[in-house]
Structure 1
Amino acid sequence: MSSDPAPPPAGLINRRRWLHLAGWSGLATACGGGGGSATPSPPPPPPISGNVLMIAVDDLNDWVGFLGGHPQVRTPALDALAARSTVFRRAYCTAPVCSPARAGVLSGLLPRRTGVVDNTATFSSVNPGKQTVDQQFASAGYTVERFGKIDHIWSVVPTPLPSPMPYTNKQCPAPVGENGFDWGPARGEDNNQPDYQYAQAGIDFLNQHGADQPFFLSVGFTRTHTGWYVPQRYFDLYPLGSIQLPYAPPDDLDDLGPEGRATALRFDMHNCIVRQGLWASAVRGYLASISWVDAQIGRLLAALAASPHADTTTVVFWSDHGFMLGEKFHWHKMALWEHATRVPFLIRRPGQTTGAVVNAPVSLADLAPTLLGLHGLTPAYSMDGQSLQPLLSNPAQAWERPVLITRRQADALQSTGLDYAIRTAQWRYIRYANGEQELYDVIADPGELRNLAASPAHAAVIAQLDAQMPPTAWP
């Protein structure tokens, strides 16, 4: 193993500037129930221009063709969309669990300001009267509709699983409720599956909505959330004998502390899968689920292309957080490493026909202010995220904003504090509530296999990154 590289002095941001960039200047007084000060007496909204189609997927990591996260994945619809969009190659969730992540997308706020740090609450439940991004569009005169899972609720029947469906967690029991961890061919026709019905609801809206009334349409798909139940032909795309597995060296946890190891081995899922010889089968189920949801997105995008709204609609695609399938022996989200936090994220402007790539790290908290700004709307409250409009205009523009990711720690060693990760262009720094630290040079070590936190040569990097993190106590 080579010696530790000397930490470069460039690229680190002083604490005051970073806190300002991250929108934290009011954090001390704004924690908990949403925070931020409402804009007093806002001016009348400007004339409405253009529509928004927002597409969300559950638990999808970087295993899409246009990000190259898995060499075998087939996502033709998403790849075609990416070829005509601005792709944010290093986009990260605000939290690696559903409700806090979605609260961040919909509000432009980080978890300490949404008040949502786990799945026991939604943004609306703890911020009554505070508008999500689509509700702000509604106040400006847009027709707003949601189908499927956008917030951590399902806004159209059916609920995530059709009936009948195997609810038994037959592969590996997990204490996360029915359908916690299982996969296999779905029963019934395509139109019996929720994601098909969510796409169809969006298609019907596009076909029926008049061209003279702007809209903000959101369609959220429940796959790739477990259980991975999709039609057999999507499993057939990935022959079991040829599945390529994630890389997990035997000593990958040796340089982690107790909390890091407890997070990695949550539910002892890896042992359950490996001892049954199911690793390839599970990866196949995830890949099949990705291709299934890609097909439903393809149906929706084809309907948009054939509609009167084709040239007047901004298309946004994102996943709430990633998912790990054996990296660091972890089988879940709820961790602060790359595969649990990196997400596919792209924006296609009306009329955009060529693709562009942004390599700077960005946060999904940046989405709400970006959409509002693109449509000439002023945010209803101060947001932590920052509009990505400059990067849409110039993808190579310098962008020094680090991304903050938050995790409530109670699922591992039963701490009630908050864990944090900071992702910059070069570093991922993790600080657990119990004081444990991890540092990865993601340029030299993109797999995050070598924890540099104990290296004296990196003490200055850790000190500067650590100074930029908020307190661990909650609330």
Structure 2
Amino acid sequence: MNQLGPTKKIVLLCLLLLLGSCSGLDKQQRTQPNIVFISIDDLNDWVGFLGYEQVKTPHMDRLAARGFSFSNAHCPAPVCGPSRTAILSGMRPVTSGIYDNNIKFSRDLPQVVSLPEHFKNNGYQVYGIGKLFHGSTANVPTTAFDAYGGKLGSAAPFTSSDLQISKQNPYHEISKLGKTFKLPLNGMPADRYWNRANTFDWGPIDLPDSLFSDRQSVDWSIDKLHKIKDQPFLLTLGFERPHQPLFNPKRFHDMYLLNEVELPKTPADDLRDLPQRAKQLALYPKTSGKHETVVKYGQWENAVASYLASVSFVDELVGDLVKALETLKLKNNTWIVLWSDHGWHLGEKSHWGKATGWYRSTRVPFLIIPPAGSTDYKKAIEIKNMVNLLDLAPTMADIAGIPKKTSWEGRSLMPLLREEASDWEEVSLTTFSIGSHTISTPDWQLISYFDGSFELYDLVNDPNQFKNIAYLPESKIVLEQLKKHIPEEPHWNYFIRHGDYKILIPKNGSIKIFDQMLEGKNDKDMAGSLPGLIRKIERYIEQYSPQEKKFIIAALE
């Protein structure tokens, strides 16, 4: 009988260990779940599973019945660029320095590994299409995906050229498939006349679904599901609706009759008790148009109906994607994560669009749906704890069983899903500009402006935020408790308001000055053209040495 020598025994043992490790790796790859990651652009909390009765969202509602819905979810920032950057980088705006839409991920955060790339680096096949990163396709990091299907734009079936303001004098006729459309469909002149395109528009488009960007994105995603050979995979799909313009196939607009549309509640004196900066935010058409224009042209009902139509269009497409997972027998090993980047105003606080600190801008729909075959999690659970979309990255890493990056600032939500969270901090931070933040809890919302002014709302007794109680004596204790959660923003020494000017004084570098009401240029640093004002500010700081970091200067000498 042949005996193995010592050397051969060692070689054989190494081979057995190697085979065992490979087998273990194969088993891990087979058992790691797939994840479908769905983002929806500008979707506020007008969805059925959050209790909004006017909208029809049966597919998202059925998803909620299969898993977890978060009724107190808020965004990291109420603007597309900084919110998506926070979610995909895992870092708050105050950490990354990304506060506005002037963002290109690979240019501005060259050392940061995005969430999709982190999955790719940890053994996942990663696919993406639509609006995930902010901006055009050129803004998507080349290392983020194994395959990226591009981004057509929410104006489709029209192009951005079709929407040019210079062509709308007052209308621009467009022909598609033998049909003529007069843009703008709503007949309103552009309040943001300084922009190239007029996107503050809405109405039905009687053209095939296949011409709309979100339909194309879902079709691409379903085709990719058919072709995926290797698992686990991360499929990321970014819907571009209900971002304006609110153009949808006609049948979705037919679902919402104008004479039956319920408008948001807006008391005539709703801005009366707001600080000056809040009134500016309410009335300035930073991201959409003016409320007075919508009312003047009799378009409020049409706008609300068109927004609801956009939501229902997206809902149907979500249903198509879920059906594909079921048809391809992927549902038993696939998690679904669905979220919106921030909310959207439709006349509340006399505002249209986003970029505010109010509840309508900060609260978002958020679903996490475990695999259909899982018995480890309960179904149809409404989680009322405070969560933030910044929590997405660590939660998804835990779902996938891959490492979490130390730079991520969110909290994994797995303790909530497993009902193991005993000391969850019930607070969420939203940053809506440099120096301005919202602190949300289940009962309260504190809005802190860069000039040191505040709003405080009792969400239990005043869910519509009609009464600012920040300056009532009985609010002092709550106000001081919530103020502790306002971030320091250590890169800045002072935040000052002087008239309409926002003045930022950094620890290092030059003073920055912004005219908050200068139409079309309120985000442009004007310091270079205001040397006299800079000298006055410097003298003021030198003379008074302010102890407060945020304040208002009524007059400068």
| TM-score higher than 0.5 | yes
Correspondence 1:255-334 to 2 at 5 A: 255-267=273-285, 269-334=290-355
Aligned to 1:100: 82
Structure 1: gaps spanning 5 or more residues: 1-43, 409-416
Aligned-pair distance for 1:45?
A: 13
* Alpha-carbon contact 1:65-1:73 (below 8 Å) kept: yes
Q: Give the letter for the 1:256 counterpart.
A: L
* Alpha-carbon contact 2:454-2:470 (below 8 Å) kept: yes
Supply the distance in 2 between the matched residues of 1:438 and 1:205 (Cα, whole angstroms): 47
Correspondence 1:107-126 to 2 at 5 A: 107-126=89-108
CA distance 1:468–1:157, shift in 2 (3 Å): closer
Aligned-pair distance for 1:107?
A: 2.1
Q: Deviations over 1:254-311 (max 9, x none)?
A: 1101111111112261100111111111101101111111111111111111113221
SS in 2 for 1:55: strand
The answer to whether residue 454 in structure 2 is matched with residue 454 in structure 1 is no
The answer to whether residue 220 in structure 2 is matched with residue 236 in structure 1 is no
* Alpha-carbon contact 2:154-2:243 (below 8 Å) kept: no
Aligned to 1:59: 42
Task: Indicate the larger mover: 108-117 or 228-237.
Answer: 108-117
The answer to whether residue 489 in structure 2 is matched with residue 464 in structure 1 is no
Aligned-pair distance for 1:177?
A: 4.3
Supply the distance in 1 between the matched residues of 2:281 and 2:209 (Cα, whole angstroms): 36
Aligned to 1:370: 395
* Alpha-carbon contact 1:316-1:346 (below 8 Å) kept: yes
Decide which structure has the larger Cα Rg and report it: 2
* Alpha-carbon contact 1:429-1:439 (below 8 Å) kept: yes
Aligned to 1:431: 448
Aligned to 1:223: 241
Structure 2: gaps spanning 5 or more residues: 1-24, 138-149, 166-183, 493-503, 507-557
Aligned-pair distance for 1:369?
A: 0.4
TM-score when normalising by structure 2:
0.73
SS in 1 for 2:222: helix
CA distance 1:403–1:369, shift in 2 (3 Å): same
Aligned-pair distance for 1:187?
A: 5.0
CA distance 1:234–1:469, shift in 2 (3 Å): same
Aligned to 1:79: 61
CA distance 1:172–1:419, shift in 2 (3 Å): farther
Aligned to 1:400: 425
CA distance 1:233–1:274, shift in 2 (3 Å): same
SS in 2 for 1:199: helix
Supply the distance in 2 between the matched residues of 1:172 and 1:294 (Cα, whole angstroms): 30
SS in 1 for 2:37: strand
CA distance 1:384–1:245, shift in 2 (3 Å): same
* Alpha-carbon contact 1:46-1:377 (below 8 Å) kept: no
- Aligned with residue 386 of structure 1, among 397, 403, 411: 411
CA distance 1:329–1:159, shift in 2 (3 Å): closer
Aligned to 1:41: none
Q: Give the letter for the 1:192 counterpart.
A: L
Aligned-pair distance for 1:47?
A: 3.5
Q: Give the letter for the 2:253 counterpart.
A: F
Aligned to 2:268: 250
Supply the distance in 1 between the matched residues of 2:298 and 2:231 (Cα, whole angstroms): 54
* Alpha-carbon contact 1:358-1:395 (below 8 Å) kept: no
Q: Deviations over 1:453-475 (max 9, x none)?
A: 11111112212222321236477
Q: Deviations over 1:69-110 (max 9, x none)?
A: 3x2100111111111010011100000000111112112211
Aligned to 1:199: 218
Supply the distance in 2 between the matched residues of 1:146 and 1:96 (Cα, whole angstroms): 23
Supply the distance in 2 between the matched residues of 1:343 and 1:229 (Cα, whole angstroms): 22
CA distance 1:419–1:450, shift in 2 (3 Å): same
Name which structure has the greater RCO, CA cutoff 8 Å, separation 6+: 1
Aligned to 2:513: none
Supply the distance in 2 between the matched residues of 1:292 and 1:275 (Cα, whole angstroms): 28
CA distance 1:277–1:130, shift in 2 (3 Å): same
Aligned to 2:365: 344
Aligned to 2:516: none
Q: Give the letter for the 1:112 counterpart.
A: V
* Alpha-carbon contact 1:131-1:380 (below 8 Å) kept: no
- Aligned with residue 153 of structure 1, among 113, 130, 135: 135
* Alpha-carbon contact 2:154-2:244 (below 8 Å) kept: no
The answer to whether residue 200 in structure 2 is matched with residue 181 in structure 1 is yes
* Alpha-carbon contact 1:116-1:122 (below 8 Å) kept: no
Aligned-pair distance for 1:341?
A: 0.9
Supply the distance in 2 between the matched residues of 1:329 and 1:370 (Cα, whole angstroms): 36
Aligned-pair distance for 1:419?
A: 0.7
* Alpha-carbon contact 1:430-1:438 (below 8 Å) kept: yes
- Once superposed, which parts of structure 1, at least 4 consecutive aligned residues long, lie more than 6 Å away? none
Supply the distance in 1 between the matched residues of 2:158 and 2:122 (Cα, whole angstroms): 42
The answer to whether residue 115 in structure 2 is matched with residue 133 in structure 1 is yes
CA distance 1:157–1:429, shift in 2 (3 Å): closer
Equivalent pairs counted in the alignment come to 422
* Alpha-carbon contact 1:46-1:376 (below 8 Å) kept: no
Q: Give the letter for the 2:49 counterpart.
A: F
* Alpha-carbon contact 2:203-2:302 (below 8 Å) kept: no
Supply the distance in 1 between the matched residues of 2:82 and 2:297 (Cα, whole angstroms): 33
